[in-house]
């Protein structure tokens, strides 16, 4: 409706109590604060020893960077160690680094660069961007020219064992009662195939309950079609869906030591008897009965 010449529009100012405005002012101040972001070139050399995996490699790498510096660092994974890793495994490395506090992470696959970063609006979501290798370097040219180098000899990497609460590296315990392996990764089937080769012709130790936790029913069906579930069952492992996992925890898990893979850190594994490690190390622990 058009206004006549004699009419006017009155705008009422919306006010909000000061104690409600202050948090938003603080957020704007922190958001606008210049950050000293940097690129850290993680150069891996040599082949990983038996019993270690790419998960141990990521945990050892981020443990060499302070939490404050890691929060403003983009990790660039490179080196001849990655030549034997598939693209999915390298993407899983990037995601794991971001989940543990890195600002971002990237990896190469030929002339293509994949960049992972956390979504500030949805912290649980990690986005993946694909660039040409030269295009990515141009995008981060200012940071790349002052990139820090972090060399690491993969042959010296040892299995990492830490607490789900403090993420501190811990000394191994003598024995475990539970071994829980999750599949919440970029390359779950590839990881399960590697684990099956470790337990081929063997069975889990006496007194150890081994559980394979599937992220989705589709993944479970794919593993079943390949015969992976049957081979795990022959080794003595049970399996369940992720939403069925509390059925195991509410029995007697709190009364025994538990070895769990890193991707199970957020699933109610916050007991003093829980130890996080790579899925490869969990499998070896289940087979040997101790660490």
* Local structure of residue 162 (DSSP, 8 states): B
Report yes or no: 215 and 248 within 8 Å, Cβ to Cβ. Answer: no
Q: Which of 282, 242, 287, 240 is nearest to 260 (CA)?
A: 282
Residue that has been written with the tokens 């403003």 in this structure:
72
pLDDT one digit per residue (tens) for the chain, 291 residues:
444 444 443 333 334 443 444 444 444 444 444 456 889 999 999 999 988 999 999 999 998 998 889 988 999 999 999 988 988 899 989 988 998 889 899 998 878 888 998 876 665 678 888 888 788 878 887 788 888 899 999 999 988 888 766 555 555 556 788 888 988 766 688 889 999 999 988 999 988 889 999 988 888 999 999 999 999 999 999 998 888 876 665 555 555 788 888 888 776 555 667 888 889 999 998 998 776
Judge residue 208's burial from the number of C-beta atoms within 10 Å of its C-beta, 0-12 exposed, 13-18 middle, 19 or more buried. Answer: buried
159-173 as b/e: b if 16+ CB within 10 A: bbbbbbeebeeeeee
Tokens of 189: 């089937």
Domains and CATH numbers, the chain: 38-156 (3.30.499.10), 178-288 (3.30.499.10)
Q: Give Cα separations from 253 to 175, 189, 206 (angstroms).
A: 14, 27, 16
Rounded Cα distance, 277 and 282, in Å? 7
Report yes or no: 165 and 251 within 8 Å, Cβ to Cβ. Answer: no
Report yes or no: 228 and 191 within 8 Å, Cβ to Cβ. Answer: no
The residues with which 188 forms a beta bridge, in sequence order, are none
Tokens of 187: 């390359």
Residue that has been written with the tokens 């993944």 in this structure:
219
């Amino acid at each position: 409706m058009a206004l006549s010449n004699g009419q006017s529009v009155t705008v009422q100012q919306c006010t909000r109590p000061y104690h409600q405005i202050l948090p938003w002012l603080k957020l704007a101040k922190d958001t606008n604060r210049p950050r000293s972001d940097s690129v850290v070139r993680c150069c891996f050399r040599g082949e990983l020893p038996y019993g270690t995996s790419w998960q141990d490699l990521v945990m050892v790498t981020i443990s060499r960077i302070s939490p404050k510096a890691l929060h403003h660092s983009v990790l660039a994974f490179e080196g001849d160690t990655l030549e034997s890793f598939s693209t999915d495994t390298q993407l899983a490395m990037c995601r794991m680094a971001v989940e543990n506090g890195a600002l971002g992470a990237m990896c190469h696959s030929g002339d293509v660069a994949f960049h992972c970063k956390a979504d500030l609006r949805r912290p649980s979501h990690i986005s993946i961007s694909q660039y040409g290798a030269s295009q990515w370097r141009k995008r981060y040219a200012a940071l790349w020219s002052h990139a820090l180098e972090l060399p690491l000899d993969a042959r010296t990497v040892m299995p990492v064992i830490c607490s789900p609460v403090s993420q501190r590296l811990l000394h191994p315990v003598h024995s475990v009662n539970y071994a829980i392996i999750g599949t919440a990764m970029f390359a779950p089937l590839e990881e399960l195939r590697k684990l099956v080769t470790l337990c081929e012709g063997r069975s889990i130790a006496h007194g150890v309950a081994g559980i394979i936790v599937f992220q989705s029913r589709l993944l479970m069906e794919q593993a079943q079609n390949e015969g992976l579930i049957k081979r795990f069952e022959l080794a003595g492992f049970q399996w369940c869906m992720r939403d069925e996992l509390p059925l195991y925890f509410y029995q007697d898990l709190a009364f025994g030591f538990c070895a769990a893979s890193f991707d199970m850190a957020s699933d109610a594994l916050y007991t003093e008897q829980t130890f996080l490690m790579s899925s490869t190390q969990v499998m070896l622990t289940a087979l040997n009965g101790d660490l």
